[in-house]
Chains A and B, each alone.
Chain A
């Protein structure tokens, strides 16, 4: 679009560069443009295709209409044709282009005839040019044909020339997107000759207008139109190239064109006119609409018309602006002055002369106040719009119509009462001021018409009750007449002013509320930490602010699934799922009211963040017609953008956490490996060394020395054995391979066997065992539990000095059985009481520590917890030393030991 490329610097314009870059990834579009049907576009396209085929390019036929012409048919020989897709519609079988087959085949170039064609219902896109867009986006080059009358912005002009309005149109954006346009041009005389020879295909329906259409005058005009449009496109391409390469050129100054639309028909034609004008001037353009209090009373049809016109403007590449205000002309002028507008386009006034006199006309007012800005008054000939039926939809506020007037009457009555009281003190003219107050009150509360009504009633009341002769509507003194007259004038003016202020205040309040809501939403999102909460808050906000039903879909494990919705919704039907998927993959809106899969129930809009499309939002409302007005669209975009930001933030936070964890885990792992490696090698070194010494020096060693070395080998081998056993146990715990065989066991028995196993380790210590005889049997895995006891005893022996006492007690309390092992060592540093259960943690106590694995206690905890118990460490309260406490639940069906016979 020319309007975005105002760049007076010598640098390449970023927009142009970006466009070029984006172009690289997409397919190239070549359009064979004709002024009228029958000029030979399809023929020419096939000729080109054959030439390409000769060169070895992979080119296939997507869809070509030969209309039975033999010469065209002949050209298809030798070209690969993708079979058409059959669509059943209302009993008839139609054939459409098979878009998916072409995407699968993915040729270099595909031929698609008749760009303006409308697809059969049920197709992915309602229009073929959207199919072509999808092909281009996939990187496939496209050759296509189209007639000049199908181009949107020229639609009116062609209709004017030929008196035939063509319904199927193609937006200008796709023409602008074309990389090549080839005009298929033949002289009007030649074309008419061909028509006579029957070489031109014309659909049945157009036969009536045939002669008129194919008149020499028309054809010449159409031909010029085609050539001119192509020239314009070439011009743009040149501009783009120059700007991308920073070639200085004669850019015109930054003018802007503005078109003002209202709720009447003809807005679309105005927009198209403006587009053509803006193209000629190479200026950006804006569609402008003023929302006044009158806007609140628009019928459904009028509202839709404005929406459609604004959407058309966006499609054609213009900007839109809606501004609230009371005086349309004032707003227009304000905007024009602020935005460097040189031309204003406006429709001719539709009002009758009298209406114009009474209410004024925006058009005329604008012409008077435009100053140096050119005003173009356009009266488009719109051939088939019927005058709108203003009695159609009634605005909502009519129901409460009586209420303002009733209240106003009450105000007047109140004023009357006050007046009566004040009559004693004040002069009669001053009493009038009381009534004026009533008028103002009515104006502030209810608006213009109730205020005018109040003025009239006040005047009559004032006249009746206060002006002599009293209690009549006649007035005796002439000065009172004048006073009364001026009262009415003042009342009217006051009503007017107050009403205006009031309506502006209403609109401003509404805007402020929306802004406030957005702000609150933004703050709410800032505080949310989890993804689901973000989605829920967003869905709720969209639903409540826009009064719609919302669903949000995200990618979960490769599949697009519904994550949240308001009202909560779990599943979508197939059409919706397809539309959602398409919207996600192509980063475009799809669904109800859009150009793709319009049969879906909801409209799906992709959620974009800096990282690309993250999800899709689906909206739906019960009412008919377009889902979002442009105003609502802006609000929706704002909400979704905020949500997308919050979404990104949450994900980044999660990523950061994950990275931190991974780094931490890595660090631990390498520390671990170093530690284990050391712990394995040390005993091995001792064993190998001792055995080697025995072998090599056995003959010179004394018996004592030999016995000593053998003892070393034995001890270190034992130590290695225990270490490896611990490692294996730890591995089993970590991999979840622990399946405790839970059977009822006697705790004492297992204590006994553990003590037996640990007898060597405990050789240097005194042992005290105190087990309550009445302990119930516990659900334990004997092997695991024995290991636990062994590990704790081993630990205790390690940290307690020789000859000290190690105590083991067990008793029952509070539905659990507790088992404690106490030693008389130095105890555990208070801050490490929990950390001793960490893997590879060892309390460093200088050289007195017999190096252990650091795994004993973690294994205990792993095993005990697998059996449903707990294990804690603490320091003794009676003296120095550590105490390890195991607690195990008592099974409910444990028999008492003495009961079993």
Chain B
């Protein structure tokens, strides 16, 4: 991405974390702005153009989730990557359902965060056009002709399985909650266990080692993620 630097707003109440994020993200030539609480964040967003928000869920004055809700309902559509603690899967799922794009748990690796930021940005930029053929590793998915190949071998999928895979592909690199997947594939909230069964079957077909999946990754307690192409 050439052109003006991507502007990222970092919202976190802990100064050391903000410092760390500034240093780390600066390596990608992003322009970093900081906010220490929800109030400061909203003020900044009103006045400045922002391309992505890194949001800590544990903010002092207002819950990070509340801020997220307000932003989305206020029409602010920038991608959001949330930071949360390890044991708060419920919070993560809620954030994703409220419109966050992805998450990392503290303590996180900078690499992972940067990767997810990039994916989130890419998806936004590529909203309008989907590439017809998606490839990652040995897996290729032709979205137009609805053909899935592992290496050179074609894989036969049931309609449901294909739908699941297609949804994952459309959000490749980003996490999808169970609920989001079910909404896309079933059109509403069905039995989560149903979804799991289907994913398992899907894995049996497209993963070289279903027990140690390389493509469809499990985000325990949250949902699934299709590995992004490098």
- On whether the beta carbons of A756 and B197 are closer than 8 Å, the reply is no
Q: How far is the CA of A755 from the CA of B199 in the complex (A)?
A: 18
Whether B58 sits at the interface, judged by CB under 8 Å, is no
Residues 107-118 of chain A, each 1 if its beta carbon lies under 8 Å from chain B, else 0: 000000000000
Q: Name the A residues within 8 Å of B194 (CB-CB).
A: 900
Q: Name the A residues within 8 Å of B211 (CB-CB).
A: 748, 751-752, 755, 769, 771
Residues 187-226 of chain B, each 1 if its beta carbon lies under 8 Å from chain A, else 0: 0000011101111110100000011110001101100000
Rounded to whole Å, the gap between the CB of B192 and the closest CB of chain A is 6
Which among A17-25, A171-179, A523-531, A738-746 touches the partner chain? Answer: A738-746
Interface residues of B in 110-125 (CB under 8 A from A): none
- On whether the beta carbons of A769 and B220 are closer than 8 Å, the reply is no
Whether B107 sits at the interface, judged by CB under 8 Å, is yes
Partner of B200, one of A721, A748, A786: A748
- On whether the beta carbons of A782 and B107 are closer than 8 Å, the reply is no
What is the total number of residues of chain A having a CB less than 8 Å from a CB of chain B? 27
For the A-B complex, the count of residue pairs with Cβ-Cβ distances under 8 Å equals 61
Residues 716-757 of chain A, each 1 if its beta carbon lies under 8 Å from chain B, else 0: 010001000100100000000000000111101111110110
What is the total number of residues of chain B having a CB less than 8 Å from a CB of chain A? 24
Q: Name the A residues within 8 Å of B200 (CB-CB).
A: 746, 748-749, 897
Q: How far is the CA of A352 from the CA of B192 in the complex (A)?
A: 108
Interface residues of B in 44-103 (CB under 8 A from A): 86-87, 89
- On whether the beta carbons of A777 and B193 are closer than 8 Å, the reply is yes
Interface residues of A in 749-779 (CB under 8 A from B): 749-753, 755-756, 769, 771, 777
- On whether the beta carbons of A783 and B193 are closer than 8 Å, the reply is no
Q: Name the B residues within 8 Å of A749 (CB-CB).
A: 196, 199-200, 203, 218
Q: How far is the CA of A717 from the CA of B197 in the complex (A)?
A: 37
- On whether the beta carbons of B197 and A783 are closer than 8 Å, the reply is no
Q: How far is the CA of A743 from the CA of B89 in the complex (A)?
A: 15
CB nearest neighbor in A for B217? A756
From B192, B211, B217, name the one whose CB has the most chain A CB atoms within 10 angstroms. B211
Q: How far is the CA of A806 from the CA of B16 in the complex (A)?
A: 39
- On whether the beta carbons of A725 and B86 are closer than 8 Å, the reply is yes
Q: Name the A residues within 8 Å of B220 (CB-CB).
A: 750, 753, 782-783, 786
Q: Name the A residues within 8 Å of B221 (CB-CB).
A: 782-783
Interface residues of A in 774-828 (CB under 8 A from B): 777, 782-783, 786
Rounded to whole Å, the gap between the CB of A722 and the closest CB of chain B is 11
Q: Name the B residues within 8 Å of A752 (CB-CB).
A: 210-213, 218
Q: How far is the CA of A743 from the CA of B194 in the complex (A)?
A: 11
Interface residues of B in 132-161 (CB under 8 A from A): 158, 160
Q: How far is the CA of A148 from the CA of B213 in the complex (A)?
A: 107
Rounded to whole Å, the gap between the CB of B179 and the closest CB of chain A is 13
Q: How far is the CA of A771 from the CA of B204 in the complex (A)?
A: 13
Q: How far is the CA of A753 from the CA of B87 in the complex (A)?
A: 16
Rounded to whole Å, the gap between the CB of B225 and the closest CB of chain A is 11
Rounded to whole Å, the gap between the CB of A169 and the closest CB of chain B is 80
Rounded to whole Å, the gap between the CB of B159 and the closest CB of chain A is 10
Q: How far is the CA of A840 from the CA of B226 in the complex (A)?
A: 39
If A753-B220, A782-B220, A783-B220 touch, does A748 touch B210 (CB 8 Å cutoff)? yes
From B107, B198, B212, name the one whose CB has the most chain A CB atoms within 10 angstroms. B212
Rounded to whole Å, the gap between the CB of B201 and the closest CB of chain A is 7
- On whether the beta carbons of B197 and A777 are closer than 8 Å, the reply is yes
CB nearest neighbor in A for B193? A744
Q: Name the A residues within 8 Å of B201 (CB-CB).
A: 897-898
Rounded to whole Å, the gap between the CB of B88 and the closest CB of chain A is 11
Q: Name the B residues within 8 Å of A751 (CB-CB).
A: 211
If A749-B218, A782-B220, A783-B220 touch, does A755 touch B212 (CB 8 Å cutoff)? yes
- On whether the beta carbons of B192 and A743 are closer than 8 Å, the reply is yes
- On whether the beta carbons of A897 and B212 are closer than 8 Å, the reply is no
- On whether the beta carbons of B212 and A769 are closer than 8 Å, the reply is yes
Residues 688-728 of chain A, each 1 if its beta carbon lies under 8 Å from chain B, else 0: 00000000000000000000000000000100010001001
Rounded to whole Å, the gap between the CB of B158 and the closest CB of chain A is 8
Rounded to whole Å, the gap between the CB of B148 and the closest CB of chain A is 19
Q: Name the B residues within 8 Å of A745 (CB-CB).
A: 193, 196
Partner of B196, one of A744, A771, A786: A744
Q: Name the A residues within 8 Å of B218 (CB-CB).
A: 749-750, 752-753, 756
- On whether the beta carbons of B193 and A743 are closer than 8 Å, the reply is yes
If A752-B213, A771-B211, A783-B221 touch, does A746 touch B196 (CB 8 Å cutoff)? yes
Q: How far is the CA of A753 from the CA of B224 in the complex (A)?
A: 11
Residues 256-293 of chain A, each 1 if its beta carbon lies under 8 Å from chain B, else 0: 00000000000000000000000000000000000000
Q: Name the A residues within 8 Å of B196 (CB-CB).
A: 744-746, 749, 777
Rounded to whole Å, the gap between the CB of A819 and the closest CB of chain B is 12
Q: How far is the CA of A901 from the CA of B160 in the complex (A)?
A: 9
Q: How far is the CA of A756 from the CA of B227 in the complex (A)?
A: 13
Q: How far is the CA of A889 from the CA of B107 in the complex (A)?
A: 35
Interface residues of A in 155-174 (CB under 8 A from B): none
Q: How far is the CA of A746 from the CA of B158 in the complex (A)?
A: 20
If A743-B192, A746-B200 touch, does A721 touch B213 (CB 8 Å cutoff)? no
Rounded to whole Å, the gap between the CB of A669 and the closest CB of chain B is 25
- On whether the beta carbons of B107 and A721 are closer than 8 Å, the reply is yes
Rounded to whole Å, the gap between the CB of B172 and the closest CB of chain A is 18
Q: How far is the CA of A717 from the CA of B106 in the complex (A)?
A: 13
CB nearest neighbor in B for A732? B87
Q: How far is the CA of A748 from the CA of B201 in the complex (A)?
A: 12
Q: How far is the CA of A782 from the CA of B86 in the complex (A)?
A: 14
- On whether the beta carbons of A900 and B198 are closer than 8 Å, the reply is yes
- On whether the beta carbons of A717 and B212 are closer than 8 Å, the reply is no
Q: Name the A residues within 8 Å of B86 (CB-CB).
A: 725
If A717-B107, A748-B210 touch, does A900 touch B89 (CB 8 Å cutoff)? no
Q: How far is the CA of A721 from the CA of B105 in the complex (A)?
A: 12
From A743, A752, A900, name the one whose CB has the most chain B CB atoms within 10 angstroms. A752
Rounded to whole Å, the gap between the CB of B156 and the closest CB of chain A is 15
Q: Name the A residues within 8 Å of B213 (CB-CB).
A: 752
Q: How far is the CA of A897 from the CA of B211 in the complex (A)?
A: 15
Q: How far is the CA of A746 from the CA of B220 in the complex (A)?
A: 12
Q: How far is the CA of A744 from the CA of B158 in the complex (A)?
A: 22
Partner of A783, one of B89, B158, B217: B89
Q: Name the B residues within 8 Å of A782 (CB-CB).
A: 220-221
Q: Name the B residues within 8 Å of A756 (CB-CB).
A: 212, 217-218
From A743, A746, A897, name the one whose CB has the most chain B CB atoms within 10 angstroms. A746
From B89, B196, B200, B220, name the one whose CB has the most chain A CB atoms within 10 angstroms. B220
CB nearest neighbor in A for B198? A900
Rounded to whole Å, the gap between the CB of B183 and the closest CB of chain A is 18
CB nearest neighbor in A for B109? A714
Q: Name the A residues within 8 Å of B107 (CB-CB).
A: 717, 721
Q: How far is the CA of A746 from the CA of B86 in the complex (A)?
A: 22
Q: How far is the CA of A530 from the CA of B73 in the complex (A)?
A: 67
Q: Name the B residues within 8 Å of A901 (CB-CB).
A: 158, 160
Q: Name the B residues within 8 Å of A746 (CB-CB).
A: 196-197, 200
Residues 160-198 of chain B, each 1 if its beta carbon lies under 8 Å from chain A, else 0: 100000000000000000000000000000001110111
Q: How far is the CA of A721 from the CA of B211 in the complex (A)?
A: 27
Rounded to whole Å, the gap between the CB of A761 and the closest CB of chain B is 15
Q: How far is the CA of A749 from the CA of B193 in the complex (A)?
A: 12
Rounded to whole Å, the gap between the CB of A769 and the closest CB of chain B is 5
Q: How far is the CA of A725 from the CA of B158 in the complex (A)?
A: 41
CB nearest neighbor in B for A753? B218
Provide 13 A-B residue pairs closer than 8 Å at the C-beta atoms, listed in order of the A residue. Answer: A745-B196, A751-B211, A752-B213, A755-B211, A756-B212, A756-B217, A756-B218, A769-B212, A782-B220, A783-B87, A783-B221, A897-B197, A897-B200
Top 7 closest pairs, chain A to chain B, by CB: A753-B218, A744-B193, A783-B221, A900-B197, A746-B200, A769-B211, A786-B220
State the B residues within 8 Å of A (CB): 86-87, 89, 107, 158, 160, 192-194, 196-201, 203, 210-213, 217-218, 220-221
User: Knowing that A752-B213, A769-B212 are A-B contacts, what are 14 other residue pairs whose CB atoms are under 8 Å apart, sorted by A's residue number?
Assistant: A728-B87, A743-B192, A746-B197, A748-B200, A753-B217, A756-B212, A769-B211, A777-B196, A783-B220, A783-B221, A897-B197, A900-B194, A901-B158, A901-B160
